[in-house]
Amino acid sequence: MPSARAQNSIVANQSYENREGRQLRSQESISREMPLPHRPVGSSLNWGPNNLEDVTFLRLPEVKAITGLSKSSLYVLIRENRFPSPVRLGSRAVAWVRSEVKQWAADRVNASRSGL
């Protein structure tokens, strides 16, 4: 059963001196609780509440490694609606949903094995 809060880690920089008196920096992980986003009931999203908890994003290098395709080939397939579209993460960042890429790869294997 999902909890009402999620753990989120942030990294804080700390500085300290080593034995020789040189100033060094380290990173310390700090955990804090953050509320999970709530989705309104009856939303038009295709994802169910259980699927949202399992979403993992892949960035372009990972998608290229999984598919064996180049960036330009991927975007041609996306334009032709033959490959899952990326999800916008920020103003200049996109990623693909891991389960959609894996399903596309499985479909390609099945199509290849069936002679299509």
pLDDT in tens, 47-97: 555 566 789 999 999 999 999 999 999 999 999 999 999 999 999 999 999
Domain hosting 69: range is 5-35+52-113
Which has the higher per-residue pLDDT, 84 or 29?
A: 84
Nearest Cα neighbor of 55 from 99, 1, 2 is: 99
Q: At what angle do helices 60-67 and 98-113 cross, to 10 degrees?
A: 20
**Which residue type, as a one-letter code, is found at position 42?**
G
Domain count of the fold of the chain:
1
Q: Residue 67 sits in a domain of what CATH number?
A: 1.10.1660
pTM: 0.55
**Which residue type, as a one-letter code, is found at position 76?**
V
Asked whether the predicted pLDDT for residue 106 surpasses 90, the reply is yes
43 is a domain residue:
no
pLDDT in tens, 9-19: 444 455 555 56
41 is a domain residue:
no
Give strand pairing partners of 33: 7
84 is a domain residue:
yes
